[in-house]
A and B are shown apart, each in its own frame.
Chain A
């Protein structure tokens, strides 16, 4: 693999990291609702919809991710580097 290439899996790790932060914040918000116990039908419905939508988004994404080859390389810079004039000379 060339030096200016990375594997696709890097983006999966970044994605998973952002999902972990999302889950932490989501748990904190849900804790707020439970702690201050303003449970009513709208709050319950909103919480249910939020959790259901989150599960669907994660399921669809991870289902697709299971079929992707994460080891395939991606070129992040033009061949020869960012400031290369190689392509211009050609």
Chain B
């Protein structure tokens, strides 16, 4: 078994990582299918030209230009596929014994960090929508803070104070651990 080395912003003393959540592999698989189709396109074009315009491929100049184009095409599709994977891989939600940290990779040049202290949590709920989400056990995890939804002002700030964990796997275990670790103060 490998063990991930995690980059935690402002690592607190005695802070221990409880678990890490990522979007479900099924979500990444959907993006992967798109790249498989993109990888297959030049092969389809090759056979199309080979059957309908065989004389074009016989020319050295045309063949060279096609090879250079296909080479560049594959390099960039490969780069986009790898970037897409890194985008998936670097989007994580770390639950420590102190807080929940959400790290979102937005493209190549932007990252967003947000965190929520466990002692401020009021409750945790999980939502599963749709057939695929039910079959593959993924959904939305919603930890909400004290007094949220109770006053109009905080309702307006909900987007800032409420973390939303989309398409994460291991919903129920995650919910259970957060409930155990958080000191929930029901007022």
Chain B residues touching A, majority SS: helix
Q: How many residues belonging to A are interface residues under a CB distance threshold of 8 Å?
A: 37
CB distance from A68 to the nearest CB of B (A): 5
Q: Which of B74, B86, B103 contacts A33 (CB 8 A)?
A: B86
Does B82 count as interface, using CB distance less than 8 angstroms?
Answer: yes
Q: How many residues belonging to B are interface residues under a CB distance threshold of 8 Å?
A: 28
Q: Which of B5, B74, B82 contacts A57 (CB 8 A)?
A: B74
CB pair B90 A38 closer than 8 Å: yes
4 extra interface residue pairs, beta carbon distance < 8 Å, beyond A32-B108, A61-B71, A68-B60: A22-B76, A33-B89, A37-B6, A50-B78
Show the binding face of A for B, using Cβ within 8 Å.
8, 11-12, 14-15, 18-19, 22, 25-26, 28-29, 32-33, 35-43, 46-47, 50, 53-54, 57-58, 60-61, 64-65, 68, 72, 74
Show the binding face of B for A, using Cβ within 8 Å.
2, 4-7, 60-61, 64-65, 67-68, 71-72, 74-76, 78-79, 82-83, 85-86, 89-90, 92, 103, 105, 108
